[in-house]
């Protein structure tokens, strides 16, 4: 079962890579993403009340948290792969991309899904590292797929900064391994998460302090947390829209998932104070940075990218609180943010396609000129800013409540201040983009094939905000995994 | 191998790894820098081999051979292919000049010794005392990444960081589990291939691999 989840996109990558791109292979990619989603749901249904399952000789392991992340990956992947078909057709029609090059894109997107799935299903924290590093390798050429000079610059920055960050995470993993060997001797699998958690009270605190700091800094690079965030706005704004949706919607939260796993072990050895302090610091710095830089953004996709830095800051603060309520809210936020951000990036890709630019100044009055696209963008922004009925409202509220409960009220107040600044900045950009001075052109229509998945994503985001069913039991089971 | 000869061999290997890192700051010709990197890979493989033989760890011996092939031969060859196509293959204007860089490398080495105290205490043998060398090599790699402005110098910086971490892993834990080691080596190799392709694209697009040309994306 677990191997199958990863095998689906791997097989699809092989097929997409071997034949020149055509419409059918594009839809095959979407079918593979849908398959991952279905398998993820089946996995979750089996695990939510029962025991974790393992596979492939104990290399893979899924508990409720893993199953939840598989579902998140599947949902955003369905949206992104559907939109990829349209992106590639437009690029081929415009002569910017050959069919060969398009098939490479298809294969890399599936490889990207496979590496993310391996990351969340790995039993061994070393394998988790290998998988997260592999996500960088497969996404570099996707970021540079448009082959513009700016995308080349973004790809270079992306791989250099992320390789260095992930090297620090590797050192952190090695130090966890050292501590485990020292405490237990050569056991069966000292780097397995379950055995690390079981032994955590015996691990050397001095080493773990250094190790966890390296983990937060290292995986924090991939999450886009300050101080190693500078690649994120470049890579997320230069990548093709479906890739931006995947990177901003799920990849950064998959990296955060790694921090959550290590945090449990670190808490076992060090108590809650040290991991909490560390996460609060990076979170508040990220929020402050996002607030100050969002004010001056001129490009839609860069604005969305900095918005991701903000949301990762919020998630880090929620994780710092660490109570079951906080973790459940963090996980709901991961899904809600993924949906809203995915929809917004895909919409921005559609805007770029229709308008030829993504500069906010040059695309005013979108609501009157392109009512459907503008409407989706408007609702997406409303969701992202945390208004009800969308799920980000619920998750942000619960994270704030949890932060006050554990005595992080001051940090919660600071985060609210940053959110207020960001709210103002995004509103002013959004007002220009959506309302702005009206032109005289007749409204342009958006194809239903484009609009339906995007609207579906927003409806889904609202649905999980209103209804506890069907996610509630899974969220609580997943929260118990990392917050016993 | 007797105890003291073993310690001596490891000490020599670790020292060569750090020395090579410092030499990359000192040399300006990119070709020479890459050759120094190959020597560092060789020293790293020797350290792994020595530990593997001493501990009778067959897996680690295999890893040592892989490290030798990847870091002393394949990776330097790949980078040299970028250097060879670059007409001006010298690091002419680093952000920090060479004497200051060497002073910084000295300071970073002190820092490495201070920072790794908690780790060395867990590895009580002579091997543990060598861990700061790996950390220092890693920090020098960081330094070279932020102060050097050629594409090749940055690739070398990444690999210095990586080799430093690998040295720490060998010394502290006799290597991570085999499956992780294989995956990690493959990843590093792929990163180098990707960087090589990107560097070639940079050259064909900009006519140079000078990263100061990459200034279009900023806030």
> C-alpha A386: how far from its chain's center?
17
A229 touches chain B (CB under 8 A): no
Query: How many domains are there within chain B?
Result: 1
pLDDT of chain B, 219 residues: tens digit per residue: 577 888 889 999 999 999 999 999 998 889 999 999 999 999 999 999 999 999 888 889 999 999 999 999 999 999 998 888 876 677 767 788 889 999 999 999 999 998 888 888 877 677 888 999 999 999 999 999 989 888 888 999 999 999 999 999 999 888 778 888 888 888 889 999 999 999 888 888 877 777 777 777 776
Whether residue B214 is contained in a domain is answered as no
How many angstroms away from the CA of A412 is the closest CA of chain B? 28
pLDDT classification of A51: cutoffs 50, 70, 90: confident
A36: Cα within 13 Å, side-chain hemisphere: 37
What is the complex's ipTM, to 2 decimals? 0.94
Say if B213 falls within a structural domain: no
With CA atoms as reference, report the closest residue to A353 among A298, A302, A427, A300: A300
Instruction: Please give, rounded to a whole number of angstroms, the shortest distance from the CA of B100 to a CA of chain A.
Output: 23
Q: Is the pLDDT of residue A231 over 90?
A: yes
Look up residue A474 and give its two tokens.
């899974």
pTM passes above 0.90: yes
Least confident residue range of A26-40, A138-152, A249-263:
A138-152
DSSP state of A445: P
| Residue B51 CB-half CA count within 13 A | 30
Q: Give domain status of residue B16, yes or no.
A: yes
Distance CA(A72)–CA(A323), nearest Å, equals: 22
Residues on chain A touching B113 (C-beta within 8 angstroms)? none
Are B180 and A182 in contact (CB < 8 Å)? no
SS3 at position B149: coil
Range of the structural domain that residue B79 is part of? 3-208
Task: Please report residues of B whose CB lies closer than 8 A to that of A127.
Answer: 179-180, 183
Quick check: helix, strand or coil at residue A61?
A: strand
Rounded to whole angstroms, the Cα distance separating A343 from A462 reads 13
Please give the torsion angle defined by the CA atoms of residues A115, A116, A117 and A122, in that order, rounded to the nearest 10 degrees.
Answer: 80
Chain A partners within 8 Å of B176 (Cβ) = 126, 173-174, 177, 191
What is the SS3 assignment for B90? Answer: strand
Mean pLDDT, residues A7-22 taken together:
94
Q: Contact at 8 Å (CB) between B110 and B139? A: no
Whether residue A13 contacts residue A111, with contact meaning beta carbons closer than 8 Å, is answered with yes
Contacts with B218 (C-beta within 8 Å, 6 or more apart), sequence order: none
| Nearest beta carbon to residue A178 from set B173, B201, B202 | B173
Alpha helices in A122-204 (DSSP H): 125-143, 149-184, 193-199
Residue A62 pairs in a beta bridge with: A53
User: By the CB < 8 Å criterion, does B106 face chain A?
Assistant: no
In a domain, B117, yes or no: yes
Residue A388 in contact with residue A304, Cβ under 8 Å? no
At residue A145 the predicted structure's pLDDT band, cuts being 50, 70 and 90, is confident
**Residue B217 belongs to some domain of the structure:** no
Write the CB contacts of A230 (distance below 8 Å, at least 6 apart in sequence): A157, A161
């Amino acid at each position: 079962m677990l191997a199958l989840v990863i095998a689906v996109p791997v097989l699809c990558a092989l097929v997409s890579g071997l034949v020149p791109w055509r419409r059918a292979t594009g839809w095959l990619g979407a079918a593979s993403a849908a398959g991952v989603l279905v398998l993820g749901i089946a996995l979750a249904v089996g695990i939510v009340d029962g025991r974790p399952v393992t596979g492939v000789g104990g290399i893979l392991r899924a508990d409720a948290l893993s199953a939840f992340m598989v579902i998140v990956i599947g949902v955003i992947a369905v949206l992104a792969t559907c939109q990829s078909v349209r992106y590639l057709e437009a690029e081929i029609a415009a002569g910017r991309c050959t069919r060969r090059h398009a098939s490479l894109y298809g294969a890399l997107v599936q490889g990207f899904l496979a590496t993310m799935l391996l990351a969340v299903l790995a039993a061994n924290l070393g394998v988790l590292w290998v998988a997260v590093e592999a996500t960088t390798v497969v996404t570099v050429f996707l970021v540079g797929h448009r082959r513009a000079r700016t995308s080349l610059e973004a790809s270079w920055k992306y791989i250099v900064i992320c390789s260095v960050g992930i090297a620090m995470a590797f050192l952190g993993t090695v130090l966890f391994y050292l501590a485990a060997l020292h405490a237990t001797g050569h056991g069966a699998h000292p780097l397995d998460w379950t055995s690390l958690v079981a032994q955590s009270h015996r691990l050397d605190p001095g080493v773990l302090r250094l190790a966890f700091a390296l983990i937060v800094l290292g995986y924090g690079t991939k999450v886009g947390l300050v101080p190693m965030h500078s690649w994120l706005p470049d890579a997320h704004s230069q990548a093709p829209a479906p890739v931006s949706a995947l990177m901003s919607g799920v990849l950064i939260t998959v990296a955060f998932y790694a921090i959550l796993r290590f945090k449990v072990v670190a808490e076992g050895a060090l108590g809650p104070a040290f991991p909490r302090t560390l996460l609060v610091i990076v979170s508040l710095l990220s929020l402050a940075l996002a607030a100050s830089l969002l004010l001056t953004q001129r490009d839609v996709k860069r604005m969305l990218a900095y918005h991701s830095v903000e949301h990762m800051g919020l998630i880090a603060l929620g994780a710092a609180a660490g109570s079951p309520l906080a973790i459940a809210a963090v996980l709901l936020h991961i899904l809600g943010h993924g949906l809203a951000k995915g929809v917004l990036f895909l919409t921005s890709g559609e805007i770029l396609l229709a308008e030829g630019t993504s500069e906010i100044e040059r695309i005013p009055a979108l609501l009157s000129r392109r009512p459907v696209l503008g409407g989706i963008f408007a609702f997406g922004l409303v969701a992202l800013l945390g208004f009800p009925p969308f799920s980000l409202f619920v998750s942000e509220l619960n994270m704030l409540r949890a932060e006050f409960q554990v005595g992080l009220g001051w940090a919660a107040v600071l985060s609210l201040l940053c959110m207020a600044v960001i709210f103002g900045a995004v509103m002013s950009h959004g007002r220009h983009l959506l309302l702005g001075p009206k032109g005289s052109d007749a409204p342009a229509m958006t194809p239903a094939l484009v609009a339906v998945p995007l609207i579906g994503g927003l409806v889904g985001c609202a649905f999980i905000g209103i209804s506890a069913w069907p996610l509630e039991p899974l969220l609580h089971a997943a929260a118990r995994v990392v917050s016993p | 191998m007797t105890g003291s000869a073993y310690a001596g061999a490891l000490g020599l290997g670790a020292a060569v790894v750090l020395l090579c890192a410092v030499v990359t700051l000192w040399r300006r010709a990119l070709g020479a820098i890459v050759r120094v990197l190959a020597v560092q890979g060789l020293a790293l493989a020797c350290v792994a081999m020595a530990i593997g033989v001493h501990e009778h760890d067959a897996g680690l011996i295999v890893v040592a051979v892989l490290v030798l092939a990847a870091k002393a031969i394949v990776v330097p060859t790949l980078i040299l292919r970028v250097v060879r196509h670059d007409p001006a293959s010298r690091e002419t204007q680093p952000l920090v000049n060479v004497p200051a860089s060497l002073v910084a490398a000295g300071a970073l080495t002190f820092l490495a010794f201070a920072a790794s105290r908690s780790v060395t205490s867990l590895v009580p043998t002579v091997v543990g005392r060598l861990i700061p060398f790996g950390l220092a090599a890693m920090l020098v790699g960081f330094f070279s990444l932020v102060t050097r402005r050629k594409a090749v110098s940055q690739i070398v910086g990444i690999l210095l960081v990586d080799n430093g971490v690998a040295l720490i892993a060998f010394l502290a834990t006799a290597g991570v589990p085999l499956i992780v080691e294989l995956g990690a080596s493959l990843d590093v190799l792929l990163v180098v291939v990707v960087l090589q392709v990107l560097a070639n694209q940079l050259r064909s697009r900009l006519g140079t691999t000078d990263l100061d040309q990459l200034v279009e994306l900023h806030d």
